[in-house]
Amino acid sequence: MGTTWNKVSGMEISVDDLSGSEIADFLEQHVQEMRDITPLESKHALDLDGLRSPEVTFWSARDGGALVGCGAVKRIGAGHGEIKSMRTDPACKRRGIASQLLGHIISEARRMGFTRLSLETGSTEFFVPARELYKKFEFEYCAPFADYKEDPNSAFMTRLIQLEP
């Protein structure tokens, strides 16, 4: 779970212990944005304590030292992980940060022995770019998983991961 450095973009992705105020503020902005566009009963973003749990691995993405994105994977079952807290700084959207971060998370999930990754995202127009990104990475729509229930504000997606021989 070391640091990945993309020499082309200059972006560095590394495990984050969530102890810094910068990442706490970044995640608070994420939670606030979700509260603004999603009914409270449909908001599934984890708070800092939830992201610090032992079953979660959290990564920060930095470009030139600036925090530009984050994402996590949570172990939810034997070989099954859930992607959590995917976020790109709104000022940095459309630069490929989310694609690089998602690719990194999938690679790390494979290395960690996951054979399936699932996620919950919003079903409204605001989340179309996120759903398109996940489809680009071979996620398909699925039924609710883990403790999720059917929700008109949620879209559930999953994909299998081939382990390296």
Q: Kindly state whether residue 165 falls inside one of the protein's structural domains.
A: no
The answer to whether residue 140 is domain-embedded is yes
CA-based nearest residue to 59, from 98, 33, 91, 32: 98
> Distances in Å between the alpha carbon of 63 and those of 9, 13, 58, 129?
8, 9, 17, 21
Q: Residue 1 pLDDT more than 50?
A: no
User: Would you say residue 23 lies in a domain?
Assistant: yes
Mind listing the pLDDT tens digit for each residue in 69-106?
A: 999 999 999 999 999 999 999 888 888 999 999 999 99
Number of domains in the chain: 1
What the block records as the tokens of 79 is 């070989």
In a domain, 95, yes or no: yes
Q: Which CATH number goes with the domain that contains 89?
A: 3.40.630.30
Q: Is the pLDDT of residue 5 over 70?
A: no
Mean pLDDT over residues 146-155, rounded?
93
Q: Is 130 a member of any domain?
A: yes
Average pLDDT of the chain, as a whole number:
88
Domain extent, residue 39, equals: 4-160
- The arithmetic mean of pLDDT across residues 143-165, rounded, is 91
DSSP label at residue 68: E
Q: Please report, rounded to a whole number, the percentage of residues in the chain having pLDDT higher than 90.
A: 68
Residue 122 located in a structural domain: yes
pTM of the model: 0.88
Note the pLDDT tens digit of each residue in 8-40: 467 899 999 999 999 999 888 877 776 677 666
Is the distance from CB of 124 to CB of 98 less than 8 angstroms? no
Angle at 83 between CA 82 and CA 84, to 5 degrees: 110
Percentage of the chain beyond pLDDT 70 is 87
